[in-house]
Structure 1
Amino acid sequence: MTIVGVYRPPNLCTVTNFVSEFCEFLEDVIPQNSNLMLMGDFNLHVNDGTHATSEFKNCLFLLGLHQHVDFSTHIGGNVLDLVITEQENGVKIKSCEQGPFLSDHCVVKIVTEIKKENIKSETVSFRNYKNIDKDAFSEDLKSLEIEQIDINEYVCDFENKIQVILDKHAPVTEKTRITRAPKPWFSDSILEKKKSFRKAEKTWKRYKKPEDYHSFQNARNKYFMEIKKVKKQTFSEKVSELKGDSKKLYKFVTEITGSKVQNPTPSGESDNAIADSFADHFMNKISKIRESLKTYPNYEPSVKNVENQPKFDELSEDDVKKIINNMQSKSCELDVLPTVVLKMF
């Protein structure tokens, strides 16, 4: 969670200049931080409806931010103290309430709920085929006996016995791994600068020397500048790529700004009711199409003379091995033995 404290002295600059500079600041700080929260005394009358405050609110909307304070925070009745967070994938404000007036400003009490961003754990199952003892595996395959006559029973018995052999030599192993949503802008150059930044940080924390702190600052600034440059380049290329396709461009802008997307599904009493409504709609369309085609003559395909297939030659064991070895090593869950295992023997 990144918290930014903001204070604008009322006589330091005009409201228009502050809004302009604050929007530029947001464009820099949002891509570099997650779980971002901005709060403080903005000395900005967000409820007065002036052009500057309208620009301020529009800037927050375009950047996917939301301002939570909707009550007066000053004894004059104005909303001057603000709490701003990202609309999506950020800090969730459960409540924002007015507290006591300790001075001419009141306390703003907020309760937050922080969501871990783009991180989840999942359990995967796999077999370690690389460590199979080829000789022992081959012996078990040679000793495989199937006495079924019916082809369906034969296949079922074969699959079951192969499964037992696989469980013996390459048992199923489960592993829990952490996955994160892909970040297309996270390049190798950013990774190298991140390593340098962390290394310099550890050195400074260990020795506390002024020169180490200076090196740490330089590495940190280079890392953040590289993120800003690569993000800008990546997003610009993506926008150029989507030029002319307003639907995809809108979806992309919505994703990177964190804007909320309304559920496009129709309302209904239940999911079953909605599904039945969809089914009735398409059944009616099919009935109308069939009704309109009754006046058309039935299609009769022309008869073609097709030559009979020639007789297939019997393949030898070597021919089968050659075919298997020339196959791509692709498999699916329905394969009894993966192609990569077959090619091992």
Structure 2
Amino acid sequence: MGISDDIILTGDLNFHLEDKFDCDARKFTETLSDRGLVQHVFGAFRVTGHTLDVIITREDSSIVIGIPSIEELHLCNDEGVPSLDHIAVHCSQTVYKPPEKRESMEFCKLEEIVIDDFNTDINCSNFMPNQTATLDELVSTYDSVLSSIIEKHAPIQSKTITLLPNTEWHSSELCTAETERVPAERKMRKMNKQLYKEQCIKTHKLLLKCKTDYYSDKILEIGCDQKKLFNLTNKLMGNTKTVVLPSRECDKDISNRFGDFFLNKIETIMRYLSSGDNFSINGNDA
């Protein structure tokens, strides 16, 4: 195998691994051995009494701890119907939940600005201290004066936030169902498995309904706007990209770069219009 990292493969097969006389099972076991892999599941892991499930790792791997066990957890399909064949295969692993991603951000509470006080400070400010100032000096003064006023009324603050997965579809009804599932699980382990089973089915159905309703409403809101529909599809498929803005170390340089870009566009259009030739706005001259 060409993969050097630790691996764990799970799934189920269409032959009985516990049957030593099964040709396919024997070939499968030999293939694993030849490639330095080991299968950890042994015993009857199905209602039918056969071993079809596999948990495969490298022979020298310690990612799986101990021997896998089974437990009837009333697994359900997408419609919440309990499975009559599958039994849950449990195994302990030396794998830990990745740490939550955290990000620092800066913000200012503009909504807390007292408008009357803000207007008073603007009216009392001197935006033109020098009548002979150049345009660049006037722009710089205008920017610095307004920035100082905003900083006074809504100072920049910083905080660290935890980046959470997208759960816009999560509803209060689903939250209640998930909360009720926890005590049902405790009771199930003591006496009433049926109660936990019913609550799991209810929560699972509600989860699917919340997601379906949310995205159906989103698509209806979009209507015939193909661009928004494309963006929503990309978001669902995890193809979103982080927008990287230019560095703000020098606002003047950034402004000049934007200005030069559009000036080049205009000059290109004018040049080709004057020549009467076919041209592309996105040509190499832009």
TM bracket (short chain): 0.3 to 0.5
Instruction: Using structure 2 for the length normalisation, give the TM-score.
Output: 0.41
Instruction: Using structure 1 for the length normalisation, give the TM-score.
Output: 0.35
